[in-house]
Amino acid sequence: MAKPVTYHLVDAAPAVAHAKALAAKGMAVRDMMRQCGLSDRMIRGFAAGSYANHRPIVKCTPKTLAAIMSIEFVKSWDPADFVKEKFRALRDSKGISRYSLAQASGVCSETIQYWETGRSLPTRLGNLEKVLAALGAGLEDVTGPVTVEQADDYQVMFAAKGDADYAPDYPCHVCGIIFRSRRLLATHPHPAKKVAA
């Protein structure tokens, strides 16, 4: 007759505190999973401090404790930070067609087209990183506000492509930075101030 398997359990409080701290800072569960190899359900449980049946997590295996404690904070990707105009300008500046970029990155050309036209956002950071690696660029090249100089370049570029209606129309009247949405302008340090005449 086989002996029952017994596990050596340790106090789970440090792992629970660590998972809660990472979640409070805004780290996504998928990023935690990628680092430690634990399941989505387990990480959500530790971040909440309890199992699905609402029993508090008090003990865990040393392996689970070590895996959760090894997670380092990584800022999660927010698809709303993606600027389609910058992405399109970056691809055009490299002289690469959508099809060629799709072949080089392994991301389908329809997905790249949807990103450029604003039909969808790159919610999967892995796919965006593959495309940017094929372009020899980083996340900073397709995120952030559009400056006045860039906006002028974009307007000329899109007008030349038959998209003359394009105009980045959310400028900060103090520093001149142009934003692609009212939401981003509203989070700017001085969105409501006006330049005195």
Give the mean model confidence (pLDDT) for residues 150-164. Answer: 48
Query: Which of 46, 45, 37 shows the shortest CA–CA distance to 67?
Result: 37
pLDDT band of 159, cuts 50, 70, 90 = very low
Residue 116 near residue 88 (C-beta atoms within 8 A): yes
Q: Encoding tokens for residue 77?
A: 């990707």
The rounded mean pLDDT for the chain is 78
CB contact at 8 A, 28 and 13: no
Flag whether pLDDT at 77 surpasses 50. yes
pLDDT at 104: 92
Q: What is the mean pLDDT of residues 19-46?
A: 87
Which of the four pLDDT bands, split at 50, 70 and 90, describes residue 146? low
> In which band, very low, low, confident or very high, does the pLDDT at 17 lie, cut at 50, 70 and 90?
very high
- Burial code (b: 16+ CB inside 10 Å, e: under 16) for 164-184 equals eeeebebbbeeeebbbbeeeb
CATH fold of 79-140, please?
434 Repressor (Amino-terminal Domain) (1.10.260)
Domain ranges of the chain: 10-69, 79-140, 148-186
Q: How does residue 194 score in pLDDT terms, banded at 50, 70 and 90?
A: very low
pLDDT-wise least confident of 3-7, 27-31, 63-67: 3-7
pTM recorded for the entire structure: 0.49
Average pLDDT over residues 153-178: 54
| Reported confidence tier of residue 156, pLDDT bands at 50, 70, 90 | very low
pLDDT digit string, tens, across residues 44-75? 999 988 887 788 999 999 999 999 999 998 77
pLDDT in tens, 82-123: 888 888 888 888 888 889 999 999 999 999 988 988 888 888
- CA 83 – CA 89 distance, rounded (Å): 10
What percentage of the chain carries pLDDT values higher than 70?
A: 70
Looking at residue 62, what is its pLDDT? 92
